[in-house]
Structure 1
Amino acid sequence: MNYRKHRDFELSEIGIGTYSLSGVYGNVDINMFKEMLKRAYDLGINFFDTAEAYDEAEEILGDAVKDFRKDIYISSKVGVKGGNKPNLSKEYIKSACEESLRKLQTDYIDIYHVHFNDPYTPVEETISALEQLVKEGKIRKYGLGHLSKDVFKKYFSEGNVFSVIMEMNPLYYDKEVLTLCRKYNVAIIPFSVTGRGLLTDEFWNKDDYEFESGDIRNIDPQFFKDNFEFAKKVSGKFKKIADKYNKTLVQVTISWILNQNGVVSALTGPSKITHLEENIGGSGWQLKSEDLAELDDFLRAEQKNLEVKQKETINNILGKSLPKDVEQSFVDLIYVIETSIKLKLITEKDILPIFYDLFALKSNLAKDDISELEQIKFKLQNLIETK
């Protein structure tokens, strides 16, 4: 395993995330997951990420790594839990940290990340709370997660931010946030490096693309419409490069990510040892400069085409009546919200209230009544400008 140093931390190039323990991808065998975590340590991985929002993930991770806790770095996240709206007040951060320490069976958290933005708590208050935890020795560093560019800037300029955990893979990454991190010398820690499984041979070798009930990918916009076709093209291109190196699609994807300037550790989310070992094969070698250039040119052209198609799709969804199928209508509106944020057609601050309204309807929608979803669509029409 290779390691990368940022300030006084030296993290393994491959890290392990525990998002799957929240059940977002279906059921997880907890005992098998713990064995995978221990095997990861044996293979040289020293960076493990979790969050208070991931159900019992902190407890599972803490139990699995307690025998070698002093040899590793643990990252956790604060600010949202149990479907509640984000809370980054000083009081909440203090109590949440104590709870995470208890669950993780540790006296300190190496990196404590702000998970989501809380628009009702001043950034200054949140930074003050985090700095106090550093002084008390309860956390060693703090970082950021799902925030907008302007909020990132405020934290970077007023705090001592160590890292940013951000979605990053060949299918999507925020170039503006990358540039900011490099400017302020903030470590980049990518997650979703395989595009929720889309950038794996295993996915494309299946006979069908269906997921079990409750799997978040059933409503994930990346698996629908033009996004899915884009993923198919990207996977095919990266697979051709992988064949040249006798590597798998996953391994070339991870190698490409690790080649991006500022990346310190790529978070992977295996639940099985076989997946873990394949992921580790993305570290310890490099793509040739000409292959990197070919991939970057390809992605640049395809991403430009995708943006045009995404705007057309948003216009089509908002400009017509929603499908009578309630589940399809729900998926379409999720697509509009997430894609509009990624295309920066609307700010998260403006669209999040609508997102919360939409998800509040999810479990109570009548199978033959889309009237409430039409109301959500109307709100989106008044906010989003795609021309």
Structure 2
Amino acid sequence: MARTKATRPKQPQEQPGGTPSKVPPTALMKSPPQAQELSHEDRASLKDFLERSDKPFSVTTVNPKKRKRSAADTALRTETDLFVPRLSVAYEIQPATNWDSLKRYKRFAVGSESIAVGECILVKHDMSQDDPRVDPLGQWKAKVLEVRALDSEHVYIRVAWLNRPEDLAGGRQPHHGKNELIPTNQLDIIDAMSVNGGLNLFDWDETNDESPMPGTDDYFWRQTYDYANTKTFSKLRKFCRDRKPQNPDEMILQCESQKCRRWMHVDCIVKDAVQRATRGTAREGKTVKIKKRASVASVSLDPTPPATAMAQEGAYTAEFFVRGSPNGPDDTPSEVTKIVVTDAEGEQRIEHVTCLFCRVPIEPAISA
């Protein structure tokens, strides 16, 4: 019997589809150590500074090994709470004195929602947006690192950006999931008025075969990008004959032969099937169970189950069906795991699904 890899239960988002509050963000719960209380004159001067610019503060990451020191240098600050140690980074804030004059808080509020340091947020990319609906796909994403405020009308958040794959070097790749985000050490300071609410972010441990997969609607991360220093991505686990990572929105299968137990992309299996059909070299063999490692996909279905994957070469088309998939509430799942090969005349043949490495059939041939 094929086993479906556990899928992480769907987590409710704080804001999607909701209405952003018109109430200004408010800083809550002061956190020591604090700046000294400002005099009336200094407080008025700081407020005037904050209101002269839409972006009064800048933050710059610094590579200490390449930094040229001068007598006017301010002390470097260090950020270590960035998902993984490799992203730890030194940085400077300008103007530092004004930033340090603001009180520091453990959390801030957007309407009725309280967001703490260390949590992730949705950020408007256009402050002129007036649509009452919050679409997570249309928002920037970031992690809250520090909250400082003069009063409820002047609240600022130091963040690290969570980038979409298409926003980084190399762009979106076939292995990137629809809701995949990539944490970086690209720091910024934003006005809390630009925050549209909180974001649940799932840490997917792809190295552990028993860990749950991201759900269909989960925003998740598994890889980081060192924006500040090396401009490199952390490595991803590679699978199958093509030695490429998994797209968590797509299925991969594992051969359970104790001598093999390798993972394979469904796309690679069906491509292999159509190539064998073209050469006339379809294979037979004994039965070996499979495990399925895939997230639950929401797809529009016909009365009969759609193929999990399809490939075409020359006069042949191969379609791959996996027993029990798709398995959504409105889906009609396939009753068997099989490959259906169709030739140029429309004649079909049903054959074994075969491991790409040990060439042992994963399930027995099915009679047409």
Q: Which TM bucket (shorter chain)?
A: under 0.3
Which structure has greater helix proportion? Answer: 1
TM-score for the superposition, normalised by structure 1: 0.21
TM-score for the superposition, normalised by structure 2: 0.22
Which structure has greater strand proportion? Answer: 2
